[in-house]
Each structure stands twice: as C-alpha cells, then as structure tokens.
Chain A
Amino acid sequence: MKQLEAIPERPATPLGAQHRVAPRRRAAWRTALTSYSFILPIAVFGVFLLVYPVLYSLALSFRDATVETIVGGDMPFIGFSNYEQSLADPTFWQALQNTVVFTFCSILFQFTIGFLLAIFFQNRFPLKNVLIALLLIPWIIPVLTAANTFKGLFNEVGPINQIAHLLGLPTVPWLASPGFALAATIVANIWIGFPFNFILLYSGVCNIPPEVYEAARIDGAGYWRRVGHITLPILKPVTVAVLMLGTIYTVKVFDLVFIMTGGGPANTSHLLSTYAYQIGFSIYNYGEAAAIAIVIIAVILTLNLFQLFLKRR
C-alpha cells in the first residue's frame, strides 16, 4: 500500500501546451480504463453476488412473500407488515437479545484469550511454532465437526457432567436447560473463534520493534505497564480490525447454534440467524424471514459504526 501511495502525481499540463492536451487526455483515459479493468471482475462479482441479493432481500422484506404468492410473482407490497409481525413476536426480541449477548460474550473472551496468548508468544521458548500451529486447530476444524463435538461434551451424561460429578459439583443438562443452552453455545463459539483473534494480534505484536520495550524497561516500566502503554496502543489499528471482523463473523453465526440446539429448548437459544431460518424454511414466510435478515444487517452495521466511532476517539 505504501508503495502505491508513494508514486508521485502526474505533473499538471504546462500552460501553452494546448496542442498536446488531446493525446494526453486519451492516455489518461487509457490508464484509467486499464486500472478499472483490473477491478472489473470483483465489481461484477460484487454487484451480482452481494449487492443484488441484499437489494432483493430488502425488496422481499416489504412484500407478502409466502408459498402462495411467490410462484405467481405477484407478491403484493405490504409496507412494514413483515417488520411489524416480527417485532410483535416475543421470540424475535429473545433472538435479538441472544444475538447481542452471544456476540458480546464471544468477542470479549475471544479477544482477551487471543490477546493474552499473543503477548505470551512474544517470549521465546522451545516448540513455539508447533504450539502456534496447534492453537490454530479450532479455527481450521469445520464448524459442523466442532458443533457436534460440543453437543456431545455438553450432553447430560457427557464428559463435562461426568467431570463435574467426580468433583462433587451439581450437574446440569446444559443444552436441555433454557438457562444454559445459550451459554453452552457461547463457550463453543469462543473456542472456535479465539485462534482468529490470536493470530492477527500475534502478527501485530511481532511487528513491534524490541527497542521500544528496551527503552521502557530502562525507564523502569514493569511488564504489565509495558503491555498497557506500549503493546495495546501500538496494536490499536489491529485491534479495531479484529473486533470489526469478529463482530461480523459472530453476529451471523448460524451453523453452530443450528446444530447444537436448533434454537431450542423452546426457542430460548435462537439467534436472529436461526430464527430467520425457522420463519423462512419451517413455516415458509419468506417475506418475514427477509425482514429479519435486514435486521441482522442493520445490527452488524450499527455495531461496526460504533466501533469506527471508538477508533476515531
């Protein structure tokens, strides 16, 4: 990026050299065309696969799109009815609340664990690279596998309860209790997501020049002081990027919860994504499902705007 920015701007056309303007303009045109042609594939890709579906969902969310109306193509425009219907459903509010709790707790722990691991790996010790590779495993494993594994771990007679039983602690049917099902999915999601935070923060940490720490040490700064006053501030751009990407990934989590609880028991662990799926593909109300999908996009945008605001401060 830096190199691109470093290219000096073209010198302005000297006055009185009017006869050379036309070919010069054409040359500029050609350069621009060449540049744009490079981004053409991604632009086409973006318009067809990203912009169009989002706009289509938006349009769908204002229409009465059910099995009966979708075939004739005459889905009538019904204004905000789909949104009103969603907002009137207590399950929607539960799902929205769950999505916020799920995202906040996941990001908080994923980031904290990732950060602590990153500063731990600043030290040199044997087998460091092997350990880093091992730590990435949760991120590499397909979510399907991870979700089913956690489903087994949190089983009423699964390993977690067996250990609790051995330690004399009370056992809980984790995924079968309305109060614990969401917590269990959060634990699983933290496990899946922390390596992503770790590896990005670690690469940021590696770029901090050791001299800065040395200078601070000479000035008498202790370890946590150095972390708080050197590592964290220098990592700020990385942190914002990690939190933003993490938020996007987490708000749209679907597969993990769908496999572990299916939104149950009694709709208590629905995220907006699984709730939208239930409305769309279990009772076939495509319009309302689209409305919920739009709400998900709105939630992601709001959270990211908030983070951008934090970044600017």
Chain B
Amino acid sequence: MPLKLASRTFPLWRSILICSSIIVCLGAARAETTVEIVHYFNVPGQLEGLANIQKDFEAANPDIKIKLTYIPFADLVKTTLQMAQVHKPPGISCIDNPDVRFIAKAGVLKDISADVAKLPTWSDTYPGPKHSVTEGTKVYGVPIGSNSLAIFSNKKMLSDAGVTDPPKTWDELTADAAKLTKSPVYGLVFSATNTEESTWQWEPFLWSNGGSLLDLTAAPAKQALQLWVDLIQKGSVSKDCVNWNQGDVANQFISGQAAMMVMGPWMLGQVHKSGLDFEVTPIPVPKEGEKPVVPLGGEVWCVMKGDPKVEAAAVKFIEFVQDADRLEKLCDTFNYISSVRSVAKKQGEANPELQPFVLQMDTARARPEEGGANYTKVSLAARTAIQQAITGQATVDAALAEAAAKIKPLAAKK
C-alpha cells in the first residue's frame, strides 16, 4: 500500500512543486543548444575527422552539443528536405556541392554571406568552390573541402611496359593505355556507369578540351567523347566500365586488373592499404602545356533555416572549423583538398600524392557552372550520350546531338 500512503501524506500542491522543480532542473541542464549535422560520410578517415572536430568544438563550447546523424548518400537530399518540411530541420546538412544551389531554391538554406565575409579564409577560397555555394550575392554554405580527379598509375606495370612517365597528353594517354594492355590487364579504367559518376569522370576531358555540357554538338565535346570511344574500341579500357561505379574502378586498379585509373583523392587511403606502388599525376590534356580543367567534388556545410539559436550555433561551428590549422587537419583525415588556397598549398607540399589535386584547384570548376540548378538533368542527358556512344548504340555525333536537344530547353530556363 505504499502508493496509497504517498498520495495521502503528499498534498497535491507539494507534488506539483516537486515535479516543476525537477523540470526546471532538467531545463537548466538542457540550456545548451544542439546542432544536428546530417551527412553521408562512411569512410573511416572521414568519420574520424568528424568525430575529432566534434570533440574539439564541444570542449571549446560547452553550451553547444553536436549530434552527428548518418544518412545514406541517396537519401540525404530527400531526408534533409523532409526534416525541413516537418519543421525539425537539422542545424547543418553536408550537401554535395552540385546540389547546393538546387536545394537553396527550395528555400531551406540560410544565407550566411554576412558571416562568411568576416572569415579570413573566405577571401582566400578558390573560385570554383566559392561558385558552387554562391547565388548572386547570397552564400549558402562553406565547403568542407574539395576533391577532383587525377590519374593513378601502377608504377610496376608502367616500368614493365617501358612507360617511363605517366601520360601528360591525350596522345600519350592513348598510346600508353594500349602499351599497358596485356590480357587480362587493361591499360586504363574509368567509370562510365549510369549515374552522375560517368558525367563527372568525363568532364575533366571535356573541359580540358575547352568544351561545355551546354554545347555538346561543338567540336571539343565530340573530340572528348571520341577519346573515350577510341580507348574502349581499341580494347585499352574494358567495355564493362559502363557498369562500374568508382568503387568498382578502384577495385580493378587495386586488384591489378588495370594499370591506370581516373580517380579522386578519397581513394588514396584504400589504395595505400593494398600496398600497391603507385603514383598520382594530373589529368592528361589535349596538347602539351595546356592546363587540365577538372570538376570539383566535395561537400558543403549548409546551415538550415530554423530556430535562430540553432542557426547561430551552426554558424559558430562552421567558423570554428575554418581555423587554418583545424581545417588542414580535417582535410588531411578526409583525404580532401582544402578549398582555401593557403591551406591547400600546405597540404600539397606535405603530401606529394595530394599535390596534383592541389595544382588543379586553380582551374577547377564547380559542376553547376553549367546548367545551374538544372545541372542534375543536364548531367543525366550527357551520361546517356556517353553510354550510347561507348557501347556503339549510336555514333558520337548522333548521341551528342540527341543529348544537346534535351539540354537546350534546360539551359534556357534557369
């Protein structure tokens, strides 16, 4: 009967007092703000980098808690939008850079141009990454770091085939890939799968040749696609590349099925773990002396519109990360190139494998420079053309003409 006893001896007002004081106490303990960060990072180095920065930030700001939420890549955009829709937005969403301006159009991202203007690193940020987060005068995020593409070569295979240096031009690429092809080993491997990955892997060749996704019927685009078609028709690249995503491409290279691959810095950790002797060089250019133009990858810290207190805390977190030393540490564990020039330079000097990527940063372009918020649709049309041409379903001219017809109305409406 203890229950009955309690209810008799405890008057109502007293229990209310106790309850409310408990609530007040809990409230005091919860006076801190929680910033939820949604992301799709699942590589060990990236998770380690996030955990470290979380620990450092919480130690420096005891009144702010960081909550990291993992969401699979394909669901990040959808989940972020859904969370915004039910008015429980995360504080920060780590959005893939080509999607930022597109999601900003939904009106869920906070314009932080006033805050970034105060950051010393902002004026030192490369134009490409800056472009991917800027719409007019509005700035919708700060890049975590950048990545792009380069050529990874298997040193032993190159020396066995008598190739002294990795290819620097398209002619060398074609010749070397043929020389390195010895069944069952292919000279080169890239990804031409039915996702954004294939457009992304083709763009370095298109853009280095002065082409544009918005002008696919022009000669530079035709030449860039012809380069890929020739490589495949000569047997230097496996026809199966139309089904290989970048993970498969890396597996081909690591398992010794391909002598060279087109790949980004995020794979450096895995290639190292395999114990392979390799080197990284910039993307080959059409003619000697030209500069490679690569697309930019990498995610952006985007502040979601919501509770002003959370917004302020999220901005504080971004500012904290932009400290030069912390930024370098974070990008190193991520195997990303910092989007801030001075930090990237330091990374390149310390690590020769990152140097080609750092050198390419000056000319690197944000993907939505072509198509803006419609980039994803432009990319879909382009990769269909790539697949048609390299599987021989259509000629290079016909495939590109079809894609150009689909892209034309998209480019017109911004």
Q: Give residues in A with beta carbon < 8 Å to B.
A: 67-73, 151, 155-157, 173, 175-178, 260-268, 278, 281-284
Are the CB atoms of A266 and B239 closer together than 8 Å? Answer: no
- The CA of A72 and the CA of B241, in the complex, are separated in Å by 41
- Among listed B101-109, B312-320, B344-352, interface-contacting one: B101-109
Contact between B196 and A266, CB atoms less than 8 A apart: no
A156 to chain B, nearest CB (A): 5
List which B177-199 residues lie within 8 A (CB) of chain A. Answer: 183-184, 193-196
Report the separation of the CA atoms of residues A73 and B86 in the bound assembly, to the nearest whole angstrom.
10
- 30 residue pairs of the A-B complex, CB under 8 angstroms, read A67-B77, A67-B105, A68-B105, A68-B106, A69-B106, A71-B106, A71-B108, A72-B107, A151-B243, A155-B240, A156-B240, A157-B183, A157-B238, A173-B240, A175-B242, A176-B239, A176-B240, A176-B241, A176-B243, A261-B243, A262-B193, A265-B194, A265-B242, A265-B387, A266-B393, A267-B384, A278-B194, A283-B376, A283-B380, A284-B77
User: Which of A71, A177, A260 has the most chain B CB atoms closer than 10 A to its own CB?
Assistant: A71
A261 to B196 Cα, complex, angstroms: 14
Residue ranges of B at the interface with A (Cβ–Cβ < 8 Å):
74-75, 77-78, 81, 84-85, 102-103, 105-108, 183-184, 193-196, 238-243, 257, 376-377, 380, 384, 387-388, 390-391, 393-394
Q: Which of B240, B257, B393 contacts A175 (CB 8 A)?
A: B240
CB-based contact A260/B243 at 8 Å: yes
Name the A residues within 8 Å of B74 (CB-CB): 281
Asked if residues B85 and A178 are in contact (CB atoms below 8 Å), the reply is: no
Complex-state Cα separation, A265 to B385, whole angstroms:
10
Bound form: Cα–Cα A260–B393 in Å: 19
Within the complex, the shortest CB–CB distance from A111 to chain B, in Å, comes to 29
CA distance A156 to B248 in the complex (A): 14
Q: Which 5 A-B residue pairings sit nearest by Cβ, starting from the closest? A: A264-B194, A266-B387, A173-B239, A176-B239, A262-B194
Contact B240 A71 (CB under 8 A): no
Are B391 and A176 in contact (CB-based, < 8 A)?
A: yes
Q: Do residues A178 and B393 form an inter-chain contact, with CB atoms below 8 A?
A: yes
Contact of B243 among A175, A283, A284 (CB under 8 A): A175
Contact B107 A265, beta carbon cutoff 8 Å:
no
A282 and B106 contacting across the interface, CB-CB below 8 Å = no
Known contacts A176-B239, A281-B78, A283-B380; 14 further A-B pairs (Cβ under 8 A): A68-B107, A70-B106, A71-B85, A151-B243, A156-B240, A157-B238, A157-B257, A178-B391, A178-B393, A261-B194, A264-B194, A266-B394, A267-B194, A267-B384
A173 to B243, CA, bound (A): 11
Whether A67 pairs with B194 at a CB distance below 8 angstroms is: no
A175-B391 Cα distance, complex, nearest whole Å: 10
- CB-CB under 8 A from A71, the residues of chain B are 81, 84-85, 106-108
Given A67-B77, A178-B391, A283-B376, decide whether A264 and B106 contact each other with a Cβ distance below 8 A.
no
Judge whether B388 and A266 touch: CB under 8 Å. yes
| Whole-angstrom CA separation of A267 from B380 in the bound complex | 10
Determine the distance from Cα of A178 to Cα of B74 in the docked complex, in whole angstroms.
26
In the complex, the chain B residue whose C-beta lies closest to that of A67 is B106
A276 to chain B, nearest CB (A): 13
- A151 and B184 CA atoms in complex are apart in Å by 17
Whole-angstrom CA separation of A177 from B257 in the bound complex: 21
Complex Cα–Cα for A268 and B257 (A): 27
Q: How far is the CA of A278 from the CA of B380 in the complex (A)?
A: 9
Contact A67 B195 (CB under 8 A): no
Chain A residues contacting B84 (CB-CB under 8 Å) are: 71
B42 to chain A, nearest CB (A): 16
Complex Cα distance, B75 from A71, in Å, reads 15
